[in-house]
Amino acid sequence: MLVMIDAAPTAAVPAGYPRELEREIRLKDGAAARIRPVRPDDAQRLIDLYDRLSYTTAYQRFFRAPKRLPPEWARLFANVDYHGRLALVAEHDAPRGPELVGVARYEPSDEPGTVEVAVVVQDGWQGRGLGVMLLSDLLAAAAARGIHRFCAFVLADNSRMLRMLARFTRVEKRTIDSGVVELIFTPRARTVSV
């Protein structure tokens, strides 16, 4: 007997993929999106997200703004171990399928016992609470993995990111060199609501 199942194809989920980090969200303005861990098949979607960033947003995230995100960067960013390297993406249902609109990630840092955090949100999605949700979920996921100390390198003129980190983290150390602010911080109690 042949049984037909009408179901949308699902992306291959790598070993160790933490489904518990997936969640549907509503932003301040009521827009719907979902937060989930990045997957290897997101590499092209990361390139597409980069293509939609303004020059300023791309520069504030990468401290340079190449015309396109190099494919090797996208593959590296899309392949994480979900423990020592983790990235959460925000996606929404666009007319041509799911579209990434934000990413928060942590990577090992040179500072012992500390991981480096970075967040980027597509320009049209900024100021709606998405960056705060991504950061909050990332810090909670890190804590569940025994990671409690973070660093971030932020351009001194990126006031939005500096305000978000000051509001939702405890900054232990702040230094500035050549227009780049280095912050060492721990998370505050989880009180984020959007």
Identify whether the C-beta of residue 115 lies closer than 8 Å to the C-beta of residue 142. yes
Distance CA 168, CA 96 (A): 35
Domain-embedded: residue 153: yes
Written as tens digits, the pLDDT of the chain (194 aa) is 333 333 333 567 888 899 999 999 999 999 999 999 999 999 999 999 999 999 888 888 877 777 888 899 999 999 999 999 999 999 999 888 899 999 999 999 988 889 999 999 999 999 999 999 999 999 999 999 999 999 999 999 999 999 999 988 999 999 999 999 999 999 987 544 44
- As for how many domains the chain has, the answer is 1
Token pair in block for residue 99: 């579209």
Whichever domain contains 35, its CATH number is 3.40.630.30
pTM: 0.89
Q: Supply the range of the domain harboring residue 70.
A: 20-187
Domain-embedded: residue 83: yes
* 3-state secondary structure at position 191: coil
* 3-state secondary structure at position 149: coil
Domain-embedded: residue 6: no
Q: Which residues contact 129 (CB under 8 A, 6 or more apart)?
A: 27, 28, 194
- Give the H or E element holding residue 61: helix 55-62
Domain-embedded: residue 150: yes
Q: Which amino acid type is present at position 49?
A: L
